Amino acid sequence: MLNSYERLLTGNKEWAKDKLKDNPEFFKNLILGQSPEYMWIGCSDSRVPANEITNTQSGEIFVHRNIANMVVHTDMNLLSVLYFAVETLKVKHVIVCGHYGCGGVLAAMENKDHGFVNNWLRNIKEVYNKHAKELDAISDKLKRADRLVELNVIEQVHNLAKTRIVQEHWKKRELEIHGWVYGVEDGLIKDLAVSYCDIKNVEPVFRYDL
Ligand code: CO
């Protein structure tokens, strides 16, 4: 039990060997630098690994993960990752990917005390509150949670659109933001069709004169 972590180091050696077997230049190419086309904002949940579920390789996705894939406008971590991805790496797509059965979303629907995490879950509670009419009408708790997962992703896409960094780059070049939900039960991603590439979908008060 104590040395179960060693499995990861052994696994890493095997992985590196396999990569070289497939492509002897694999690491030589990566060392030249990264130019990913995508930034990923996903949940920290161990069942939703960005590269694995999209069948992509090292170097293809710039990743930020937190509990329940939130875009919180005071989160210096998220904003720094976003700034670097958009400004320096010039990613073409920023994807918010939630997942059904999200523990963070389920916790936010309840009144249980989660200590410090309450501060984070509060952001999801705000989403619930905004859509309370629709959500309260769904009697099945799991179905209600699934819908909140979707609504939460949509709200986070809107939160992305409200950032100065996204609005600035919309003025200058092509940049698209998207909302997806991953199904842990079947491994499939659902596109929520909230892809935006301009300011049209941003409420006037959130628009900046850039
Ligand atoms: Co989650």
- HSE-CB at 100 with a 13 A cutoff on CA atoms is 17
Q: Which two tokens stand for residue 86?
A: 């958009």
How far is CA 59 from its chain centroid? 17
Confidence of residue 100 (pLDDT cuts 50, 70, 90): very high
Per-residue pLDDT tens for 120-179? 999 999 999 999 999 999 999 999 999 999 999 999 999 999 999 999 999 999 999 999
Buried (b) or exposed (e) across 70-107, using 16+ Cβ within 10 A? bbeeebeebbebbeebbeebebebbbbbbbbbbebbbb
CATH code 3.40.50.2300 for 36-206: no
Per-residue pLDDT tens for 54-67? 999 999 999 999 99
Tell me, in angstroms, the distance from the centre of ligand 1 to residue 121's CA: 11
Q: Of the listed 93, 99, 144, 158, which one is catalytic?
A: 99
Instruction: Check residue 2 and give its pLDDT.
Output: 59
Q: Of the listed 97, 102, 158, 178, which one is catalytic?
A: 102
Tell me, in angstroms, the distance from the centre of ligand 1 to residue 158's CA: 19
Query: Could you list which residues have their CB under 5 Å from ion ligand 1?
Result: 43, 45, 102, 104
What residues does each domain of the chain span? 1-33, 36-206
Give the pTM: 0.96
What is the maximal distance between C-alpha atoms in the chain?
Answer: 57
